[in-house]
Every structure is written in structure tokens, then in C-alpha cells.
Amino acid sequence: MASKHDRLRVESVLKDSSTSFINKYRELVIGDGTFAELFKYEFVTFFFSNLGGALGLGCRKLFFPGLFRSVGKNVLFGRGITLRAPGKVSIGSYVMFDDFVTLSVRGTDENSIQIDDNVLIGPGVDLKTRLG
């Protein structure tokens, strides 16, 4: 469930009449990134996020690391991962994300997620930052 601060922030972004829909979406989904980063995010998540089997696993292993601040060696990404501001997420080596994990960075510009080496994130886990 979203916190009161998250709801207020989302409402303020959505109600801002001086900002276009695409800028609102870009701010809520990738943070302060460029339109090129938004295009890359959209392309990678659309084509590979829910692709099943070994092909999906291989494509995510190849294409997902480019969405994050940094990614170590041998990181595996399951299906259906939800990413919000992935450019503020650093991932160590030998990390596995099971299916339907959420990584969401919200709040101040200093907020981030750091995942160390040798970590298994189970199915359906939500890792989120909020106020900072």
C-alpha cells in the first residue's frame, strides 16, 4: 500500500497542468532521466520483462543491466519485475531476482537501493525507498 507521502507526490505530479503526460510518466517511472533513458526503459521492459523460458532469462541478463546504476557479475532477473527509477539501484555480483519483484526508488534525489553480493530476492518481494 502506498504511503501518504507517495500518494501526495503522485497526485501533485499528475495535477501539474504545466507538465505534459509523457513528462509526468517519465518522472514517476524513471525519475529524472532523459527521454533516451525512458525509451530504453520502455523498449527493454516491454519486450523482455515477461518473456518466458531460457530465452527470456537470457534476454533479461543481457538487456536489464543497462537500466541500473551498476550491476555486478552473474545477475539473473526473473519475469515480471517492476522497476521504478532503476538508475538509482546498484546490484552486486551473484544476485538473483525471482519473479514479480518490485524495485522502487522514491523520495529525495539521495535515495537509492544497494544490493550486495550473493543475494537471492524471493518471488513477489517489494524493495522500496520513500522519504529521505
Give backbone dihedrals phi and psi of 73, rounded to 5 degrees, phi first: -80, 150
Q: Is 60 in contact with 34 (CB distance < 8 Å)?
A: no
- The string of pLDDT tens digits covering residues 91-104 is 999 999 999 999 99
Averaged over 8-15, what is the pLDDT? 62
Reference 98, options 75, 72, 64, 122; nearest CA is 122
In this structure, what C-alpha cell is assigned to residue 43? 523498449
Instruction: Report residue 111's pLDDT band, with 50, 70 and 90 as the boundaries.
Output: confident
Q: How far apart are CA 52 and CA 63, in angstroms?
A: 15
pLDDT per position as a tens digit, 46-70? 999 999 999 999 999 999 999 999 9
Q: Which among 97, 61, 67 is positioned nearest to 85, based on CA atoms?
A: 67
> Tell me, what's the pLDDT at 24?
77
